[in-house]
Amino acid sequence: MFGWTGTILRVNLTKGKVSREATDVKLAHDYIGARGLGVRIISDEVDPKADALGPDNKLIFAPGPLTGTFAPSAGRFDVITKGPLNGVIAASNSGGSFGPELKYAGYDALIIEGKAAKPSYLWIKDDEVEIRDAAAIWGHTTPDTTDLVRAATDEDAKVACIGPAGEKLALLANIMNEMFRAAGRTGVGAVMGSKNLKAVAVYGNGAVRVADPEAFKAAVMKSRQMIQAHPVGGAGLKAYGTDVLVNILNQIGSLPTRNYQDGYFPTADKVGGESLAAKQLIRPKGCFSCIISCGRVTKVDNPAYQGAGEGPEYETAWSFGPDCGIDDLDAVTKANFLCNEYGIDTISLGSTIACAMELFERGVITAKDTDGVQLTFGNTAAMVEMTRKACTGEGFGAKLAQGSYRLAESYGHPEYSMTCKKQEMPAYDPRGVQGIGLNYATGNRGGCHVRGYTIAVEVLGGAGGMDPRVTEGKPGLDILFQNLTAALDSSGACLFSTFGIGGPELAEMLSAATGVEYSLEEFLKIGERIWNAERLWNLKVGFTAADDTLPERLLKDPIKTGPAKGMVNRLDEMLPGYYQERGWDESGVPTKAKLKELALV
């Protein structure tokens, strides 16, 4: 095989057994790799009713066939498992260098089964695999864990690990790699913690072979030039990072504010990318093979929130910033640093704190519940304190670390949890941007922007964009983005390469790398297949069309101030057309004809 390594590594932690198997060629062709391959394996090998934190769940680290090549930004991998936050197949995507290293060690996927008897970590060096005692690193933050594991294995090893949040099975726990990259959402870190697995360290001496080196090189150079020439891929993201979005979302009146109570935050500029560049940025940083360099190496000198690390990204700056009524960038960045160190999802935690703030201001909870903290919107010190407590799992923080849905429901008010399918929505108010609302509602993993980023067209599209305020055409837009992203995620490329290239270029590079002829139509069809496979799992878990919705606030309560004042999301105008265009029945169930077309029966 080319692009793929041809080998899957399987580690059973219960039995302490390591085995290898050949990558199924047909599965690889039909699902590509990474997210797609992981979705297929989880669908085939895990009971949808299994306890996500039990030994029968499996945890998969999977790069794609492009991962580790010099295709632009081709450093991605996915962590795939039954997500404990909401039961979906969590496929959480990350960058850095871990994915390429797993390919160089010789693997298309690492499948982890069972549960170790005591805290353990994996050390993979090519075909040597050890399950090692993690007693000395259990309890450590992710940076300390990374340093300790490298010292015990190889200083050039790439390390993916959980922090204390994952050890404590926090449903918002993530997996960090290279200290600052995150497989962030849906609680994948809790699954790793439930297996008593602290870290995976990998080092590889191999390489990725491509089928047609000349064609691959030509396709890659063309794609690199297209990205370089694009205003965003070539310059904008490097200058300001993703946090540049704060101001534009605010200026269109769709920056969710104070737990989505409003869509406009007058002092938003203080936490935007321009302020970040001026006050905290040391330098941009890119992942493996990346020319975009959206990453931020940052530091905070303010003694109250002193620290250094990477980030914040836009969603993080939003969740701890305007969503909590806060405009103190130092505090926001500190919260970001804490989440990275302790291994917790910044989007969900910030949104959960915002939910708690609303519960507090409405009198549903009091200082007695919140360990004496006046948890009100705009209380910067309270936000940072609650972030710290959630990270360490102490006091009220332990409840926060389980997410806003369980928090709000436990106090009898689930309506204040800004979630879809129990996962917190990110930083785009769908009352002002109709299509992203449809994406949130129909998202297979719940509240999520990246898997159907219609914002690129509805807000950032320039002359080629679509009006964010209309619903016409949005079902087709969402479906296109969802299918394309599923295929892209599975290839190992980075979503941000689409600031420059599109499906044709991705299919071209994939074909030259693997030797399998992927047309654009086939590439998108694979994405559709993956999306439908995820949907089938969700139906088996118990999700129904009733779950394809938004919080009532977004359907009924208009935005109060700003340019989108008076608007709600008109999901009912879009959802029926979405089901129809997807080839699903009126209950959102894929028809037999559609499943046959996608070879899912």
Partner 1 sequence: MDVQYFATFRDLAGERARRIDEPPATVGELLQALAGRYGAAFRRAVFDGERLSPIAIILVNGRNVHFTGGLDTPLAPDDQVSIFPMVAGG
Q: Give the footprint of partner 1 on this chain (CB under 8 A).
A: 231-232, 236-237, 239-245, 247-248, 251-253, 272-274, 294, 313-315, 432, 449-450, 453, 455-456, 459-465, 467-468, 495-496, 499, 562-564
Q: Name which of 35 and 406 has its Cβ closer to partner 1.
A: 35
Of 18, 31, 34, 38, whose CA–CA distance to 82 is shortest?
38
Could you tell me the smallest distance in angstroms from the CB atom of residue 152 to partner 1? 35
Determine the Cα–Cα distance for residues 253 and 558; give it in Å rounded to an integer: 12
Q: Name which of 56 and 467 has its Cβ closer to partner 1.
A: 467
Could you tell me the smallest distance in angstroms from the CB atom of residue 100 to partner 1? 22
Determine the Cα–Cα distance for residues 104 and 225; give it in Å rounded to an integer: 26
Could you tell me the smallest distance in angstroms from the CB atom of residue 253 to partner 1? 5
Determine the Cα–Cα distance for residues 73 and 494; give it in Å rounded to an integer: 6
DSSP 344: B
Query: Quick one: which H or E segment has residue 424?
Result: strand 423-424
Could you tell me the smallest distance in angstroms from the CB atom of residue 436 to partner 1? 11
Q: Name which of 303 and 462 has its Cβ closer to partner 1.
A: 462
Determine the Cα–Cα distance for residues 285 and 178; give it in Å rounded to an integer: 12
Could you tell me the smallest distance in angstroms from the CB atom of residue 255 to partner 1? 11
Beta-strand pair 197-203/158-161: antiparallel
Could you tell me the smallest distance in angstroms from the CB atom of residue 244 to partner 1? 5
Q: Name which of 197 and 564 has its Cβ closer to partner 1.
A: 564
Q: Name which of 9 and 487 has its Cβ closer to partner 1.
A: 487
350 and 317 Cβ atoms separated by less than 8 Å: no
254 and 263 Cβ atoms separated by less than 8 Å: yes
Could you tell me the smallest distance in angstroms from the CB atom of residue 528 to partner 1? 22
Q: Name which of 136 and 466 has its Cβ closer to partner 1.
A: 466
Q: Name which of 52 and 347 has its Cβ closer to partner 1.
A: 347
Q: Name which of 195 and 230 has its Cβ closer to partner 1.
A: 230
Query: Quick one: which H or E segment has residue 484?
Result: helix 474-491
Could you tell me the smallest distance in angstroms from the CB atom of residue 549 to partner 1? 23
250 and 268 Cβ atoms separated by less than 8 Å: yes
Q: Name which of 114 and 426 has its Cβ closer to partner 1.
A: 426
50 vs 53, 54, 56, 58, CA distance in Å? 9, 7, 6, 10
Give φ, ψ of 33 to 5 degrees. Answer: 165, -165
Could you tell me the smallest distance in angstroms from the CB atom of residue 342 to partner 1? 23
Q: Name which of 496 and 518 has its Cβ closer to partner 1.
A: 496
What string of DSSP letters covers 381-394? HHHHHHHHHHHHT-
Could you tell me the smallest distance in angstroms from the CB atom of residue 3 to partner 1? 26
Q: Name which of 27 and 297 has its Cβ closer to partner 1.
A: 297
For the chain, the maximum distance between any two Cα atoms, rounded to a whole number of angstroms, is 67
Other Cβ atoms within 10 Å of 102 Cβ, number:
28
Could you tell me the smallest distance in angstroms from the CB atom of residue 339 to partner 1? 17
Residues 6+ apart with CB under 8 A from 546: none
Q: Name which of 159 and 433 has its Cβ closer to partner 1.
A: 433
Could you tell me the smallest distance in angstroms from the CB atom of residue 515 to partner 1? 32
Determine the Cα–Cα distance for residues 505 and 498; give it in Å rounded to an integer: 10
Which of helix, strand or coil describes residue 372?
coil
Task: Give every strand in the sheet of 181-183, ordered side by side.
Answer: 128-133, 120-125, 197-203, 158-161, 175-177, 181-183
Residue 11 backbone zone (phi > 0: left; psi -120 to 50: alpha; other: beta): beta
Could you tell me the smallest distance in angstroms from the CB atom of residue 336 to partner 1? 15
Determine the Cα–Cα distance for residues 557 and 30; give it in Å rounded to an integer: 44
Q: Name which of 327 and 358 has its Cβ closer to partner 1.
A: 327
Residues 6+ apart with CB under 8 A from 460: 232, 248
Omega of the bond leading into 312 within 30 degrees of 0 (cis): yes
Which of helix, strand or coil describes residue 300?
strand
